[in-house]
Structure 1
Amino acid sequence: MTQISPPSAPAAGDLPAPPADRPRLGVHRAWAVAAITFVTIIGAAAFASLPGLLIDPLHTEFGWSRGMIGFAVSVNLALYGLTAPFAAALMDRFGIRRVVAGALLIIAVGSALTVRMTQSWQLVVCWGVLVGLGSGSMALAFAATVTNRWFEARRGLVTGILTAGGAAGQLVFLPLLSWITEHHGWRPAALTVAVAAVAVVPFVWFLLRDHPADVGLAPYGAARFVPKPPPVVGAAGRTLRALREAARTSTFWLLAGTFAICGASTNGLVKTHFVPAAHDHGLPVTTAASLLAVIGVFDIAGTVASGWFTDRLSPRRLLAIYYGLRGLSLMFLPVLLGDSIHPPMVLFIVFYGLDWVATVPPTIALCREHYGDSGAIVFGWVLAAHQIGAAAVAYLGGVVRDTFGSYDLVWYSAGALCAIAALMSLVIRRRPVAVPALAVVG
């Protein structure tokens, strides 16, 4: 495989002046940046909480099939994934603040415009294209970029915390949005999403910083000051070159394949279809949405714990355990759904919640280990596979429900796929063969 050497270190005379802004009270500025990123991801998670609540209201009001509505959600999920790697490169070119603030505004516009739609294609454009593009720029590549720039130590833990921000947002907004949808209709719920996205913009613009060197600090845990790299031009070219180099390794395809199954079994299936599936069994929508929110509670604990484990244990073995347990839980779900909450269902919610996005910290760690400085961009492409898997199941799940009148086939199929992902994780090499970094310079 063609190897691209990392850029040489700058000469001593090129280094900036010694850091002028020291941490106060022993707290490194990186933790403040992580906190702002966490809040931003929470706000952005509001829009991700809505699609599963819209399926029945839109079907009732407009007569659109669940497959058609699922197609709009699948466009959203696919663009979310395909935008992520380019967003990571754009952050290197224009800075984190500009990219994230712009993404939040696009989300707000797309969500607000849905209240005026009368045709199904407008749902695809507003929610599928606009919100998909905006959310893709707010994807987990954002968390990976912040972690890689601001932290040398505790990267796994920080990745877990930031990833849990999405779950925290789901916890905050799902009960609220379900209540608004049930009592006031889906349009006020869509406007609530738009307002939430706009509300986060000032935090990003005025409080977030692109690099530790902007405030005269070394990354947290680093032994030396790291100068801020110059803007990297040619974001699209750099992103595609990183993909081309990574695609020559088997590790990339294994990571992409397992993460596609991850997306299929979470965002595509549970987040999109759990509420309507539970409603099919007689469970009220608000109650089903509350269960999905409780998944978010345990997701926070599970993801943070996964980050802690990733700093200490083999990431590939962790992935095998996570996928295996997830597949087992999905196999039992069809017999657990009913018209009321009972202890076995609560056990599933707790078990599944702990595993929801626990796969993210070890996946990011493997990307960083194998692809070095381009790890965030490569993870963006792996995340694209995640969202393509989610998009496929978001659409196919609706088609299966329309065809067979039940989601059971989808649950069993997702469980089998997770078992395959567990085996694929164990095949990933422990270390890269001979590539210290894929530092592609535009």
Structure 2
Amino acid sequence: MIRIKKKALTVFALATSIVASSIATLPAFAQGGDLTVNWTREEASKIELNQDNTLPYTDISKLEKFAPGYHVWDTWPLTDRDGNIASIKGWKVIFALTAPNDVLPGKVHDIATIRYFYSKNGKDWTLGGELFPHGSALGQRQWAGSAMLDGDKIHAFYTATGREGQAQLTYEQRIATAEAKVVADKNGVHFENWGAHHIILEPDGKYYQTKEQAQQGEGGGYAFRDPMWFKDPQTGKEYLLFEGNSGGAVGERQFKPEYAGSTEYLQQHPVPAGAVHANGNIGIAEVINGDVTNLKMLPPLIEANYVNEELERPHIVVKDKKYYLFTDSHINKYAEGLQGPDALYGFVSDTLIGGYQPLNGSGLVLANPLENPYQAYSWLVTPSLNVVGFAHFGDLGNLSIGDVGNQSPEYQFSHFGGTLAPTVQLSIRDNTTKLEKTLPQGWIK
């Protein structure tokens, strides 16, 4: 099991002993009857690496550079409106965050640009160029999103990070969209006639924390990003999923026993006071009447209050009429008193909203090996259960990822992947998953 050093714990008084024992057996819904499910401390405490969830060691120094001249990280495919991998005259298209490869790895998010690639076989990709005409997108830079093909149009969703026009780098996050015409021929794919860019979602402060709320008090994260298109095959309704944090400032946040789990677990594992800073959630908004610029904010699907600070790039795969909700998180995003690896995590439900239970009992689906704990990240599961990620930092020895920025530029570049990792094939059976095999880099069937 992965081990992370933690400082001494300050605990809450066990006033929680008054909680009815029924909490141990009933689904853990958030207040207000909105069917938001808690990923509990009890569930996360069961995280353990084994042969079914641990990626094989990858020597990232031997991986082929996906786009010579560029670092490449968060990646997503073009899908059709139903969520299937789209084909345009036989071409598949993927998008990725990129930066010139002479930029230090720790600075790439400051200048991230979305570029696209196309391929006939889903394995050999050609760089098409920047997705948006230079300077047209909102924000100081663009972070991850998704893209949906609608006839001969593309709807691109992305995170507009920082405010355009500001001289100082800022980290406000809003969700934006724009559409263009898709043109494909024997030579490849390109986009033309881009329309206006629109901000379509901003945090409301109730369900989703604003930047101003996040800046009140000490510690904690801030996220409102990673829009992912989803159409519910059972109802035909359309949505965007996104990463957020539970609303309110740290000083306003109160512990609820359902964040921990069963009464018995809470009695045996008092919750550290510092865990209050973890408030990651997975948000959802409904598309109204098919208009992708008109969305209704809904309560979160999952909250990880007192458990985890950051549930990145959420997305859903429907299999055997079950909803499999996946997300990514880091070692250093767990609440005080808990530990887990850089990994892909997942939950399963019979319905889109409500009822989610962690896959494999803990939520852990795929993790980096202990001997190379940062080798890959930002995994995305396709409808065919290919899992695509990028090569992050390899062979750091005893260094944590937070130590890398203190090393020489030569060290940072030599240990950074900045390219796609080998794709892996996942299998799912009810509420369990298994790593089946490793496939070529960036392979999307």
Q: Give the TM-score, by structure 1 length.
A: 0.25
Which is richer in strand?
A: 2
Q: Give the TM-score, by structure 2 length.
A: 0.25
Which is richer in helix?
A: 1
